[in-house]
């Protein structure tokens, strides 16, 4: 009953949570939802316009666009969640270390962060992905390398604020181990803000990954991934616009849903920001 009351009270959160779960369900059950094999090429049906057989048309190899868009949910969403998890864990951990211990630890971590943000993010990610080689794992590594600084700076500022509280000073004076202080007192008081930040970044990170794939530094053919599908379809924009329309719509829907879900979570966990 408490859960139902909470969902009824937070209607916006409930709506976008349901939509997010539908997107996740699409990724999980793609083999059962997709009408055709996304890798099956039927050259005789190349660039077929949407019809009764192919709801969203076919690409240059005669592959069903609808099935590829559905399967694209798997690769795009999985890699995006992995990316957000990596930058959340790495950035938050480094920020905690910098803020709590200060001194040389703080100086080294923050100078590295300053160096990373001095370059345009996407340009640096392209350079890193180009050095590592074009695939989705390397794309995640490249974007993580330029995105962790946001979490590190935010968590550091929160830790510096928390350190000023008397209970932290009392714990230090009483001889409590620093690791225990961080885990018991620091992390619980900052984790909410960090989770809200991570939730609101899902849509942005999905766009970053799609951008790298579109530029040829992310997913590689024949992987059904939305950014790659946009890249493959741009050549046929005037002749077969559906090759870009449907992957583009999928990206817009998923980004909007997760952005709104993140905003809803922020409103619930940080009511002071309302």
Question: What pLDDT, on a 0 to 100 scale, did the predictor assign at position 1?
Answer: 54
Q: Spell out the alpha helix ranges (H) of 164-269.
A: 166-173, 178-181, 187-214, 226-234, 242-269
Percent of the chain with pLDDT over 90: 33
pLDDT (mean) for 103-116: 89
pLDDT at 20 over 80: yes
Q: What is the pTM of this model?
A: 0.87
pLDDT at 271 over 80: no
Could you tell me the pLDDT band of residue 29, with boundaries at 50, 70 and 90?
A: very high
pLDDT (mean) for 219-236: 88
Could you tell me the pLDDT band of residue 89, with boundaries at 50, 70 and 90?
A: very high
For the chain, percent helix, then strand, then coil, each to nearest 5?
75, 0, 25
Secondary structure class of 260 (helix, strand, coil): helix
Chain centroid, CA 226 distance in Å: 14
- Among candidate residues 39, 35, 37, the one with its CA nearest the CA of residue 222: 39
Q: Rounded to whole angstroms, how far apart are CA atoms 257 and 251? A: 10
Chain centroid, CA 143 distance in Å: 10
Chain centroid, CA 53 distance in Å: 34
- Among candidate residues 250, 235, 213, the one with its CA nearest the CA of residue 26: 250
pLDDT at 274 over 50: no
Radius of gyration of the chain (CA): 22
Q: Rounded to whole angstroms, how far apart are CA atoms 26 and 63? A: 19
64: phi then psi, degrees, rounded to nearest 5:
-70, 120
pLDDT digits 0-9 by tens, 40-70: 888 888 888 898 888 898 998 889 999 999 9
State the residue for tokens 């766009």: 207
State the residue for tokens 């974007």: 143
Find out whether 254 and 206 touch, Cβ atoms under 8 Å. Answer: yes
Could you tell me the pLDDT band of residue 270, with boundaries at 50, 70 and 90?
A: low
Q: Rounded to whole angstroms, how far apart are CA atoms 35 and 149? A: 42
Chain centroid, CA 261 distance in Å: 13
pLDDT digits 0-9 by tens, 132-186: 888 888 999 999 988 999 999 999 999 988 888 888 888 878 877 878 888 888 8
Question: What pLDDT, on a 0 to 100 scale, did the predictor assign at position 22?
Answer: 94
Q: Rounded to whole angstroms, how far apart are CA atoms 64 and 56? A: 7
Question: What pLDDT, on a 0 to 100 scale, did the predictor assign at position 247?
Answer: 93
Ramachandran sector of residue 202 (left: φ over 0; alpha: ψ -120 to 50; beta: rest)? alpha
């Amino acid at each position: 009953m408490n859960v139902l009351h909470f969902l009824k009270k937070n209607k916006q959160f409930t709506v976008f949570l349901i939509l997010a779960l539908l997107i996740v369900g699409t990724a999980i059950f793609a083999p059962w939802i997709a009408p055709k094999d996304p890798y099956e090429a039927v050259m005789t049906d190349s660039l077929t316009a949407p019809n009764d057989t192919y709801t969203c048309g076919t690409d240059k190899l005669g592959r069903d666009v609808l099935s590829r868009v559905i399967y694209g949910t798997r690769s795009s969403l999985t890699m995006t969640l992995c990316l957000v998890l990596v930058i959340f864990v790495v950035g938050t951990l480094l920020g905690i270390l910098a803020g709590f211990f200060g001194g040389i630890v703080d100086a080294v971590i923050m100078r590295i962060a300053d160096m990373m943000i001095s370059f345009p993010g996407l340009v640096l990610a392209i350079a890193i992905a180009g050095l590592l080689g074009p695939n989705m794992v390397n794309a995640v590594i490249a974007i993580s390398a330029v995105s962790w600084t946001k979490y590190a700076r935010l968590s550091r500022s929160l830790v510096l604020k928390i350190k000023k509280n008397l209970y932290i000073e009392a714990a230090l004076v009483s001889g409590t181990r620093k690791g225990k202080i961080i885990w018991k007192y620091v992390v619980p008081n900052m984790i909410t803000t960090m989770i809200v930040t991570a939730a609101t970044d899902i849509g942005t990170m999905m766009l970053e990954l799609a951008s790298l794939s579109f530029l040829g530094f992310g997913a590689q053919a024949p992987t059904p991934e939305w950014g790659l599908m946009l890249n493959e379809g741009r050549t046929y924009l005037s002749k077969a616009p559906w090759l870009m329309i449907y992957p583009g719509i999928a990206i817009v829907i998923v980004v909007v849903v997760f952005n709104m879900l993140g905003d809803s979570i922020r409103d619930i966990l940080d009511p002071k920001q309302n």
